[in-house]
Amino acid sequence: MQKRILPLQWTPSGGITLEENATTSVKTGKNVLVVAGPGAGKTELLAQKTGYLFQTNTCVYPKKVLAISFKTDAAANLKERIESRFGKEYAIRFSSLTYDAFAKKILDQFRNALPEELCPNKDYIIGDKKFIDAAFKKSGYLNTSGLTPSRLAVYYESVISAASLPLSGDSIGSNVWRLLIKGFDDNPSCLTFKMISMLAIYIFSTNQYILKGLQSTYSHVFLDEFQDTTSLQYDLVKICFQNSNSKITAVGDNKQRIMVWAGARKTIFEDFQQDFNAMKIPLLMNHRSAPRLVDLQKLMYTSLQVDLVDLQTSTKWKKNDGDIKLYISENEDLEAKYLVADITEKVSNGISLKDICILVKQLPENYTDNLLAVLASHNIKARIETDYQDLLKEFIVILVLNTLKVSINRRSPTEWEYVNNAMEELKGLEPTERPDAYYQEHTNLVNLLNITFEKLVLDITDTDFQEVINNIVQFFDIEKIKALYPAYAQGNFFESTVNKMIDLLWKEFKECNDWNLSIENFQGLYSIPIMTIHKSKGLEYTAVYFVGLEDGAFWSFRNQPEEDRCAFFVALSRAKEYLSFSFCAHRHKLRNPNQKHTDINEFFELLKLPGIATVINCDSIF
């Protein structure tokens, strides 16, 4: 057991220096809302707070810390940081889950505490569209309005969410619930993640023993990306921890609230402060961006209607570091030539392609055709990340890639450790407790790697490659993977994820005929990523190019100016040193190709303020 440290003697690990407000957030014994802007180091804050709680025994042994994130990769990254920083002894007391995974864990563990009519079958599946559609039809719903599949799915979700538990009456919603919970007409029990959350809330609201057990297990709770929390998720948090002794740390940034369209609760910060009597602490450091870029961020505070704080930048920067440009062009050919010229200059100065990002508001394929062609003519690879970005964050994809890397090159210590740790976790092995079983599985893993290598070095076909990947997946046990990551139990999500990875990785291999290079290309190590603002959230790049600062891209600005201002803020805050915006008067792929910036002119006026951006009017002379 690691040596206990007195609270007054505690210092951050890893040579990290925390700002005063961050230290206060770490050591406070109260519920706290940490308002952490871009580059504030919120993940580091949560990691350091975990260290403080365990090292000082403030989280009294054997109690645990629960961290709830929105995305699987965020939850996994936080868990990995805790283990790498503090070791397994503390990592096993740190539960890092998504909201969906947390709710499913509760339902699976305490399913039998539900009344019979609300108790799903043990082997329920998640989110199968065919079964949900069949349940609505059996309950009498007819799509007389001719809703498209996507709109029909939204309607189904709204009906399911509107049901009250316990079920009563004979409405379509109640009848659909009854059918999905128990299964019908040879269709299995099937739940949506919203149903799972609602059932978890019902369990806690009707069984105080389970609720007290949860609160006794987790003395401290972290809520990440809190600005995106939905009302249902907040209801789950409240039923679990309001008026308990568990201390909550919520971390978020209302300037980056761009998920209102997906149900994010607009008043979540105010509600949390009131419901949990939480103190509000702003972080004042921006460790990411150069001073001139931070100046632009601060100018956005007024339009975003948030409190102005005196943001500080890292001492690594000089006062005038950072560069902002606004390109204005008449057509996409000129736009592409000027932007690529700037990109090639940065590449020649040593900036790697993966440290450059091209952002658009939406639909990258409508804004980047010319840009991709001109980049290719300069032998610069770029790709739209739509098919890759989410895929590369999936556990099963990371596991397979690391297994392939280790099979090709055994001298890959980081990848070997990842694969070995995954095997131990999925198979429930501990070298000191079950040495014989551990040795046997380790031998089996080595055999798998040998077989994989032998097949990869042959003149392999796409069918052979698919078999290689399937063998890897089977070795780690599909059912155990699905149990550990609940999203994989949803319909055919797991299978489609694996198949998509196989197709894209095989495509890369056919282009270069080198497995190491094909894996690295698949990971995007040698190309400029092109993505939407929403997909860029949480990421950072040395240079960012935002293409399409136009009314056509921000078509919803008149109806939702607040959310679009937040989107603009997210875009400009991804950059560390170089930030460029591009307006083009004619976009050939858009329904209305002629573009203006009348609706979003406030963005232009902001960039044109003295000392902010260099305005470049692109002309035919190049």
Q: Do domains 7-102+203-283 and 291-386+528-617 have the same CATH topology?
A: yes
* Cβ-proximal residues to 149 (8 Å cutoff; 6+ apart), any chain: none
| 3-class SS of residue 20 | helix
Look up the CATH number of domain 7-102+203-283.
3.40.50.300
Model pLDDT for residues 124-163, shown as the tens digit of each residue: 988 888 999 999 999 999 887 888 888 898 899 999 999 9
401: left (phi over 0), alpha (psi -120 to 50) or beta: alpha
Distance, CA of 290 to CA of 575 (rounded, Å): 9
Q: pLDDT tens digit string along 278-298?
A: 999 999 999 999 999 999 999
* Separation CA 423–CA 438 (nearest Å): 10
DSSP state of 92: T
* Phi/psi-derived region of residue 576, left when phi > 0, alpha when psi is between -120 and 50, beta in every other case: alpha
Cβ neighbours, 10 Å, residue 104: 25
How many helices, marked H, and strands, marked E, lie in the chain? 26, 17
* Beta strand extents in 48-139 (DSSP E only): 64-69, 94-98, 125-126
pLDDT of residue 71: 79
pLDDT < 50 regions, the chain: 622
- Cβ atoms within 10 Å, residue 476: 20
Q: Which two tokens stand for residue 130?
A: 């065919």
Cα separations in angstroms, 260 against 162, 386, 520:
19, 21, 35
Nearest Cα neighbor of 272 from 215, 214, 231 is 231
Burial 389-424 (b: 16+ CB within 10 A, else e): bbbbebbbbbbbbbbbbbbbeeeeeebbebbbebbe
Structural domain boundaries in the chain: 7-102+203-283, 104-202, 291-386+528-617, 390-522
The answer to whether the beta carbons of residues 189 and 182 sit under 8 Å apart is: yes
Cα 36–37–38 angle (5° rounding)?
Answer: 125
Q: State in words which class domain 291-386+528-617 has.
A: alpha beta
